[in-house]
Structure 1
Amino acid sequence: MRFDLTDLKLFVHIAESGSITAGAQLANLALPSASARIRGMEEALKVPLLQRGRRGAEPTEAGRTLLHHARAIARQVDDMRADLAEFATGLKGQVRLLCNTSAMTEFLPDALAAFLATHPQLSIDLEEKLSREIVQAVIDGAADIGIATDAVDSSALQTFPFRDDPLVLAMARDHPLARQLGKKRHISFADALSHDFIGMAGDSALQRHAAEQAARLGLRLHCKIRLRSFEAMCRMAASGAGLALLPEAAAIRHNGDDRLRIVKLNDAWADRKLLICVRDHDALPAHTRELIAALRRI
């Protein structure tokens, strides 16, 4: 079966307008040509794609399946054209980079800003995801570089050390859990889950990870409030509103008035390291290898 973009766009126009005539006009095709193209598609697939009637034409079950894929292909083509159009304005390369919450907020902003300042003809498409999603995306070729924790299996990829990134609990010094701990400097996550937490708003990879760890213990992570930054979480925790689970670097950075008590977690999953993940370093474009080198130096 061989369909071209004109066939697919024509079918989308017909399905959305409810008429072969209107669809042909939208596709800038003569009606006989449009009808012939639809017949050719149906003959190639050996199934009817349109239910024709007095009121026009609507997709059959097979037609609705084709419509779904045709729309997806059209979006991909539009995205491709938009990306390639940037090269006409001087852009020389794009890097698709996926990272976890900690890398996104604590380590990458300054590093990427410095890199882009010296590489003005590059662009970076940065997105936050869970570490296991990052690894799978790099394996599948959906991302050039991933920054994920060593808690997930990345053995199918080439990896390079990026940062130590342990998770800690931050709380007010007079919080009930802080008083309960006394001089202890470590706690298990399970022992903290009876208290209210301060979480991250939105679809935060760190928040989802924390909820999953609680579920594995057969417990629930109760978030009293969700905020959009580690700084806001630390300020709220310092006021005594709850516990904040966040990277140690963020807790230390936002503890300016020393009102927070920072407690390490005993759990193995919290003692994590961040890794740079790629499929094949030597096969990457030169500008992508340069970015990896810059991230490893910082």
Structure 2
Amino acid sequence: MKLDPVTLKLFVRVVEDGTIASAAAREHIAAAAVSRRLSELEDAFGTQLLVRTNKGISPTAAGMNLAVLARGVLDDLNNIEVQMKGFSAGRRGHVRILVNISAASTFMPPLVRSFIEQHPDVHVSLLERDSLAITESVAQNVAEIGIFTRLPHSADIEVQPFRTDVLKVLVPLDHPLASRDEVTFGDTLDHEHVVLRPGTHLRFQMLTAAGQAGKSLRAPVEVSSYDALCRMVQLGAGVGILPSGNADIYRLPGTRTLTLAEPWATRELAICVRRADALSPVARLFFSHLLAHR
């Protein structure tokens, strides 16, 4: 026996309407064809499903049970269709986004929240990576979208401008530099630093700038996050350089932020995708959301 959705739907219609003619009209099928399908259904199950009288049609106990089961099956089929259409329209699905350490805790959380408020059936994976690794990963289709500090790269990707990121110097209140509002990077090199782990773009910038100044970067403490960096500065382990957004989020009592008077203190964050026209529907929605909130 092969059950098909059309026959089940016709059976439910007949039970609901009480006549074959009404069900046939609603489903745009000949009444004789409906009657034949119902008879074949009864033959297949080997039991009477409907009672036919001059007042109309009513279900038997078996027929009523089948109607309940059939409605459940038809609802499930309809739900499948709705969900699959949701994927094609970008209303459902999963988008994977790689972001650098700065954007992960500042720009991105409110943007992800506003996106999922508009698209509650979309799952967003926000993963932190170093900027250079982000460009390579997006080029290799490991993730569809990346947010990185704009820097020279060889990845075959499309890039759009996103936000501006300004670096600040965080110092303890009792530090020799704390009385100043602005310092150069050279000024900070006379003191110990708390720095991010190796591999980050900021760490590379600082080492490059120290070399150009003919000085060394003294960094007895390395950390893996900006909140840890702020805490170590608060405890007097050294000065720290970090984006202003992170400094505002993790600002701790007993510390002060200073302006970093260097051209490289202003950094550009960018959005990258492998190919904008090849994004999945849900990734295209998130990409548009980012562009609209630059």
Sort the TM-score into its range (normalised by shorter chain).
0.5 to 0.7
| Residue 142 (structure 1) aligns with | 142
Determine if contact 1:214/1:221 at 8 Å carries over to the other structure. Answer: no
Query: Counterparts of 1:135 and 1:124 in 2: how far apart (Å)?
Result: 19
Shifted more, 109-118 versus 287-296: the winner is 109-118
- Structure 2 residue 251 is matched with structure 1 residue 255: yes
Deviation for aligned residue 1:212: 4.4
1:121-136 alignment runs, 5 A limit: 121-136=121-136
| Residue 246 (structure 1) aligns with | 242
Q: Which amino acid letter does the alignment assign opposite residue 96 of structure 1?
A: R
Deviation for aligned residue 1:112: 1.7
| Residue 268 (structure 1) aligns with | 263
Deviation for aligned residue 1:107: 1.6
Query: Counterparts of 1:234 and 1:250 in 2: how far apart (Å)?
Result: 9
* Higher CA-based Rg: 2
**Structure 1 residues 144, 231: closer, same or farther in 2, change over 3 A?**
same
Q: How many residues align?
A: 205
**TM-score normalised to the size of structure 2?**
0.58
Q: Which amino acid letter does the alignment assign opposite residue 246 of structure 2?
A: A
Q: Which amino acid letter does the alignment assign opposite residue 107 of structure 2?
A: F
CA RMSD of superposed structures (Å): 3.3
Query: Counterparts of 1:279 and 1:229 in 2: how far apart (Å)?
Result: 28
1:41-120 alignment runs, 5 A limit: 92-120=92-120
Query: SS in structure 2 opposite 1:174?
Result: coil
Query: Counterparts of 1:154 and 1:271 in 2: how far apart (Å)?
Result: 23
CA deviation digits over 1:211-263, x for unaligned, max 9? 64357546543333344543443344244331111111121333365x43322
- Structure 2 residue 172 is matched with structure 1 residue 172: yes
Alignment counterpart, residue 220 of structure 2, candidates 224, 234, 240: 224
| Residue 3 (structure 2) aligns with | none
CA deviation digits over 1:100-147, x for unaligned, max 9? 110112121232233234434333333322222222222233321111
Structure 1 residue runs of 5 or longer lacking an equivalent are 1-86
**Structure 1 residues 131, 229: closer, same or farther in 2, change over 3 A?**
closer
Determine if contact 2:230/2:252 at 8 Å carries over to the other structure. Answer: no
Deviation for aligned residue 1:272: 0.3
**TM-score normalised to the size of structure 1?**
0.57
Deviation for aligned residue 1:274: 0.7
Deviation for aligned residue 1:152: 2.9
Determine if contact 1:102/1:206 at 8 Å carries over to the other structure. Answer: no
Q: Which amino acid letter does the alignment assign opposite residue 164 of structure 1?
A: T
**Structure 1 residues 142, 269: closer, same or farther in 2, change over 3 A?**
farther
Structure 2 residue runs of 5 or longer lacking an equivalent are 1-82
Determine if contact 1:101/1:206 at 8 Å carries over to the other structure. Answer: no
Paired-residue identity, %: 34
| Residue 187 (structure 2) aligns with | 191
Query: Counterparts of 1:229 and 1:132 in 2: how far apart (Å)?
Result: 18
**Structure 1 residues 216, 153: closer, same or farther in 2, change over 3 A?**
farther
Query: Counterparts of 1:268 and 1:287 in 2: how far apart (Å)?
Result: 38
Alignment counterpart, residue 285 of structure 2, candidates 287, 290, 293: 290
Query: Counterparts of 2:274 and 2:201 in 1: how far apart (Å)?
Result: 24
Query: SS in structure 1 opposite 2:269?
Result: strand
**Structure 1 residues 216, 128: closer, same or farther in 2, change over 3 A?**
farther
Query: Counterparts of 1:233 and 1:167 in 2: how far apart (Å)?
Result: 14
Determine if contact 2:163/2:270 at 8 Å carries over to the other structure. Answer: yes
Determine if contact 1:169/1:263 at 8 Å carries over to the other structure. Answer: yes
| Residue 159 (structure 1) aligns with | 159
Query: Counterparts of 1:134 and 1:140 in 2: how far apart (Å)?
Result: 10
Deviation for aligned residue 1:176: 1.6
Query: Counterparts of 1:197 and 1:128 in 2: how far apart (Å)?
Result: 23
Determine if contact 2:99/2:127 at 8 Å carries over to the other structure. Answer: yes
Q: Which amino acid letter does the alignment assign opposite residue 223 of structure 1?
A: A
Deviation for aligned residue 1:154: 7.4
